[in-house]
Structure 1
Amino acid sequence: MNAGDSRAFGLRVAELRKQRGMKQEELAAALGRTASWLSQVERGVQPVNRLDVLRLLADGLGVPLQTLRPDTPIAAASVPAESIDAPNDLDQARLTISGYPVPDVLLAGDVAEAETDLEALQTAVDEVWKLTHGNRFAELSSAIGPLIPRLERAARTAPDAVRPTLWLLLSRAYQALSAAFVRQDEPDAAWLAADRSINAAERSGEVLHVFTGVFRLAQAFVRLKRLDQGEHAAATAVNALRQHVSGATANPEALSVLGSLHLALALVHARAGNRSDARKEVENARQVATQVGSDRNDFNLEFGPTNVGIQAVSIAVELGDAGEAIDVGERINAERLSTERRARLAMDLGRAYAQRRQSGEALAYLLEAEELAPELIHTHVAARNAIRELILVAGRSASPELKALADRADAQP
């Protein structure tokens, strides 16, 4: 859908809504979306291409799908709603972390003790991280909705003996949410989730989780293009942590956090176009990974030699060093890492080949990344830009596969 089509579609949505006497807030609530999202749709800022979202709008407005979108094929319009995947975004999660988490606890004089089934809560937080690593954001959003308030309440009202454990679980849940928001290019929400994770980690007494939260915070700053803040956050943490991590017998968990912070600094410098400092930080991370000795997943950072290689590919692409990115990336075996890491490697190799105008290889890797993690390709700004560039280079000779990918990612020029 191009800009003109998006504006026309948005006007049609607004007209149908007004005909039914509905306010934006009312329709948005019926759709399970935010009023801000609906406003963007009606103004043509937010295109709607996915069939499941089109059906959601049509059902909310009480009209047939083809009334809303006349060019929708009849066969597609007749597909039962229950057979289509639900919208895959983090709107519900964003609402969950809006405002103070449990205001009633502040006002009540005698709050009932919260449920403290630690094993069940631990399992729930572990599942949240599995969903995050798998880029399964719709499921994550649904799971985090009831979990965050439950943890927030328990951490404040449970017996003193178990509160540190609950604060730690809360910190881990917020860290997962921050990581997901970064990948969905919602850095303001990622910033908020990271900040809350740091606060909860400090109250838990688990110091390394505080530093892990700072890593998430630095990632949010990078997405917000606040590179000075990202550098300050990561560098301050690195300087403090290095004083406590030394020698061949250093704690591998602490090393994982330190190495990840070096990678965060590498990304900051790469985005700033500071080639020498970016390479220096990658080398610092590589030296730490050598100390760690193997791929680990401490604090869900997936730090180790393989992930440093994947990040080195990403940094090289950011710096425009496509040849280096391809040389390094083609030698990496990431099978033991998460879906998200494998998809990221494939995406960055696709970007690298796109920089070299090797369209066939670029498309193959981007399709591989999409197969692993569709949401990553459909929402990541850099991936969509690479697809758009491939379309522009190919012109009328663009293959059906490339055109279809561009449609799915809303990356048509």
Structure 2
Amino acid sequence: MRGMTSAMTIGERVAWYRRRRGLSQEVLAGLVGRTVDWLSKVENNRIELDRLSVIKAMADALDIALGDLLAEPSLLEWTSETGHRTVSALRDALLDYRQITMFGRSVGAVEPPTIDQLTRQVCELWDAYQASRFGYVTARLPELLTQAQAAVEVGPSTMEPHRLLGLTYQLAATQLTKIGEADLAWIAAERGLATARQTEDIAVIGSLTRSVVHALQSAGKYREAVRLTEDAAGMFASSLRTADGEILSIYGTLLLAGSMAAARADDRTATRSFIAEAYSAGRRLGRDGNHLWTAFGPTNVAVHRVATAAELGDIQFAVGLGPRIDTSAMPMERRVRHALEVARAYSRWNRNEEAQATLLDAEQMAPEQVRYHFLGRQLVTGWLRRGRAKPTPTLLALAKRMNMLQ
């Protein structure tokens, strides 16, 4: 179904699925507690539907997945870096029964890397992810999972192989979330957390817990993600007094993930609480860092203030703060994710020229990330469909590069 609606706006998808369900506008509007006039404007692109809390409520009323209205997952393009096996190969690796049953691979079937070799491979792929090389990371993850699993099975009797396998699963969950593969992200996050628990390393356990929070959000389970954040934050209570930079960063990014979940659940109180606590952790850290690829620090807290404001519909705040945040020292993935939020805020404020300029700048920095994120696709689709004048050559060229023209 998703492929059939990929060229539509979210409002048009609502209308498409409503008709498939045989529902009238009156019935669907009643199910989501809105007026018929509001729903009609949504379906006819006169109201922009981009708050995930509202989109999730609409998906629930239509008895479909959140990804159906977001038109996820995205098709990863084949490049010289990816070859012709991307998500399908990663799916095969995660669904390999030998990883979760007693019928494992025979010892020696895969030559295990040394710990130093595996560490370099894990670091290299995490760095590539933060550089927004999403296709490359997806294509290389299946082999890395195989190598990390082999290291656990026949490696040294220490916790380091388990730690590295856990971080590999976390990267798989993180990458899959970015490209809209919510179900696979959940499998990777769950398996990674189970592996991390064997290490008894609070930093790795906290880091994998954050991935579960993200996976829950990707599936539209916002309130569950909030509860998990609250429970997991308590795990750090005994270690925060003497926490080093790594623990503070893991704790802070967990809270930031929770703040997004709370905003998407329309819970302003929890959003403010998580942001405030993350801000305190950032102040203690004293600077922007990247412990365990968290990109945590005062700047990331500010970025999340903008993102949560946009999710809550506080567009004036997002427009006022977003463009003033200097993200130039952050990893590319974070810089571009923030640019998408700024473009969304500009667009909602009817400042389309600035919105398009922001998105074009982001595309120059990381074309894959803009192409695969639902905000990038929906912004371009909306400008094409809602514009009163003929689309500019610049906008048409952008849409063509994003493979959004029929």
Out of 102, 114, 119, the residue aligned to residue 116 of structure 2 is 119
1:102-181 pair list within 5 angstroms: 102=99, 106=103, 114-160=111-157, 163-181=158-176
Residues 322, 259 of structure 1: alpha-carbon distance in 2 compared, 3 angstrom cutoff? same
**1-structure distance, mates of 2:149, 2:6:** 44
Residues 396, 192 of structure 1: alpha-carbon distance in 2 compared, 3 angstrom cutoff? same
Residue 206 of structure 2 aligns with an amino acid whose one-letter code is F
Residue 223 of structure 2 aligns with an amino acid whose one-letter code is D
Report the CA distance between 1:313 and its aligned residue. 1.4
Equivalent residue for 1:315? 308
8 A contact 1:242–1:258 mirrored in 2 = no
Residues 130, 84 of structure 1: alpha-carbon distance in 2 compared, 3 angstrom cutoff? closer
Out of 331, 342, 353, the residue aligned to residue 346 of structure 2 is 353
Out of 390, 400, 405, the residue aligned to residue 393 of structure 2 is 400
8 A contact 2:255–2:274 mirrored in 1 = yes
Residue 229 of structure 1 aligns with an amino acid whose one-letter code is E
Report the CA distance between 1:237 and its aligned residue. 0.3
1:8-23 pair list within 5 angstroms: none
**1-structure distance, mates of 2:87, 2:182:** 12
Report the CA distance between 1:350 and its aligned residue. 0.5
**1-structure distance, mates of 2:250, 2:155:** 30
Residue deviations 1:231-267 (CA, integer Å, cap 9, x gap): 2221110122124313xx5322211111112112211
**2-structure distance, mates of 1:5, 1:297:** 35
Out of 275, 284, 288, the residue aligned to residue 268 of structure 2 is 275
Report 1 or 2 for greater relative contact order, CA contacts < 8 Å, sequence distance ≥ 6. 2
8 A contact 1:91–1:141 mirrored in 2 = no
Equivalent residue for 1:239? 234
Residues 250, 122 of structure 1: alpha-carbon distance in 2 compared, 3 angstrom cutoff? closer
Could you tell me the percent identity over the aligned residues? 26
Report the CA distance between 1:289 and its aligned residue. 0.6
Equivalent residue for 2:225? 230
Report the CA distance between 1:326 and its aligned residue. 2.3
**2-structure distance, mates of 1:288, 1:47:** 34
Residue 167 of structure 2 aligns with an amino acid whose one-letter code is R
Residues 260, 211 of structure 1: alpha-carbon distance in 2 compared, 3 angstrom cutoff? same
8 A contact 2:370–2:377 mirrored in 1 = yes
**1-structure distance, mates of 2:105, 2:171:** 30
**1-structure distance, mates of 2:379, 2:105:** 53
Residue 155 of structure 2 aligns with an amino acid whose one-letter code is A
**2-structure distance, mates of 1:391, 1:347:** 17
**1-structure distance, mates of 2:333, 2:181:** 17
Equivalent residue for 2:336? 343
Q: Which moved more, 1:340-349 or 1:89-98?
A: 89-98
Residues 48, 224 of structure 1: alpha-carbon distance in 2 compared, 3 angstrom cutoff? closer
Residues 348, 107 of structure 1: alpha-carbon distance in 2 compared, 3 angstrom cutoff? closer
8 A contact 1:197–1:213 mirrored in 2 = yes
Report the CA distance between 1:125 and its aligned residue. 0.6
Residue deviations 1:65-117 (CA, integer Å, cap 9, x gap): xxxxxxxxxxxxxxxxx989856953322222113355898467865795342
Residue 97 (str. 1) matches residue 94 (str. 2): yes
**1-structure distance, mates of 2:289, 2:355:** 30
Residue 285 (str. 1) matches residue 282 (str. 2): no
**SS of corresponding position for 2:288:** coil
Residue 306 (str. 1) matches residue 299 (str. 2): yes
State TM-score, norm by structure 1: 0.75
Residues 94, 108 of structure 1: alpha-carbon distance in 2 compared, 3 angstrom cutoff? closer
Q: Which moved more, 1:97-106 or 1:295-304?
A: 97-106
**1-structure distance, mates of 2:226, 2:280:** 20
Report the CA distance between 1:151 and its aligned residue. 1.3
**SS of corresponding position for 2:260:** helix
Residue 363 of structure 1 aligns with an amino acid whose one-letter code is Q
Residue 138 of structure 1 aligns with an amino acid whose one-letter code is G
8 A contact 2:98–2:104 mirrored in 1 = no
**SS of corresponding position for 1:395:** coil
Aligned residues: 341
8 A contact 1:262–1:281 mirrored in 2 = yes
- For structure 1, which runs of at least 5 residues remain unmatched after alignment? 7-44, 54-81
**2-structure distance, mates of 1:132, 1:148:** 15
**2-structure distance, mates of 1:288, 1:407:** 43
Q: Which moved more, 1:253-262 or 1:398-407?
A: 398-407
8 A contact 2:73–2:179 mirrored in 1 = no
**1-structure distance, mates of 2:197, 2:4:** 46
Equivalent residue for 1:72? none
Equivalent residue for 1:35? none
8 A contact 2:82–2:135 mirrored in 1 = no
Residues 399, 253 of structure 1: alpha-carbon distance in 2 compared, 3 angstrom cutoff? same
Report the CA distance between 1:145 and its aligned residue. 2.1
**2-structure distance, mates of 1:178, 1:339:** 19
Residue 289 of structure 1 aligns with an amino acid whose one-letter code is G
8 A contact 1:266–1:279 mirrored in 2 = yes
**2-structure distance, mates of 1:412, 1:91:** 25
Report the CA distance between 1:127 and its aligned residue. 0.8
